[in-house]
């Protein structure tokens, strides 16, 4: 167990190795490691941000969907309402039209009746005159009796 010059030689070697490590090995390795750590940290932060954005987008899409559904329901309700309004209006119009047609028909019927009556009257007077002529066997002074007949016809 003898201490010799070996000790000093070893110390020298040690010093060289320390210098070499401190100058050429440690700094580049540490730089690489720290750069990678930064890259990974950035990547993780970006992923976190992406996740957050995704959450927001999901929330927003749900919101939009809900709004769209509401709007669709509104539109459907409005459509239903409008349709029933149109039906009601159509009913009313149809009734008015029907009434008008009925009134027209009634008026026409009345007119026809009147015309038939007129025709009938003139025929009745002629038939009455002819019948009276036959019964009496002689000519009747049409002139003399026309007034009376007319009054008769008018009385019918």
- Which residues are near other proteins by CB under 8 A? 1, 3-11, 13-18, 20-22, 24-33, 35-36, 39
By beta-carbon proximity to other proteins, the closer residue of 23 and 52 is: 23
Residue 148 CA to residue 143 CA, distance in Å, equals: 10
| CB nearer other proteins, residue 38 or residue 60 | 38
In contact, 49 and 56? CB cutoff 8 Å: no
Task: Provide DSSP, 56-68.
Answer: HHHHHHHHHHHHH
Select 31 or 119, whichever has its Cβ closest to other proteins: 31
Please say which residue, 7 or 144, places its beta carbon nearer to other proteins.
Answer: 7
Rounded to 10 degrees, the C-alpha dihedral 92/97/100/101 comes to: -140
CA distance 124 to 149: 10
Q: Nearest approach, Cβ of 42 to other proteins (angstroms)?
A: 12
Question: Of 17 and 132, which CB lies nearer to other proteins in the complex structure?
Answer: 17
CB of 67 to other proteins, least distance (A): 46
Q: Report the nearest approach of other proteins to the CB of residue 47 (Å).
A: 17
> Smallest distance, Å, CB 17 to other proteins?
5
Roughly how many angstroms between the first and final C-alpha of the chain, as a whole number? 170
Please name the residues in contact with 122: beta carbons below 8 A apart, sequence gap of 6 or more: 153
CB 125 within 8 A of CB 150: yes
User: In whole angstroms, how close is the CB of 43 to other proteins at the nearest point?
Assistant: 12
């Amino acid at each position: 167990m003898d201490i010799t010059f070996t000790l000093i030689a070893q110390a020298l070697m040690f010093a060289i190795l320390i210098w070499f490590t401190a100058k050429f090995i440690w700094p580049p390795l540490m730089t690489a490691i720290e750069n990678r750590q930064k890259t990974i940290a950035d990547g993780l932060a970006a992923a976190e941000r992406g996740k957050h954005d995704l959450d927001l987008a999901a929330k927003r899409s749900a919101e939009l969907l809900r709004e769209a559904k509401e709007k669709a329901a509104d539109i459907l309700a409005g459509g239903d309402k409008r349709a029933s309004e149109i039906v009601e209006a159509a009913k009313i119009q149809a009734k008015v039209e029907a009434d008008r047609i009925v009134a027209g028909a009634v008026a026409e019927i009345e007119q026809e009746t009147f015309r038939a009556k007129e025709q009938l009257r003139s025929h009745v007077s002629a038939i009455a005159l002819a019948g009276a002529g036959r019964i009496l066997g002689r000519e009747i002074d049409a002139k003399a009796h026309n007034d009376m007949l007319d009054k008769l016809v008018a009385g019918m």
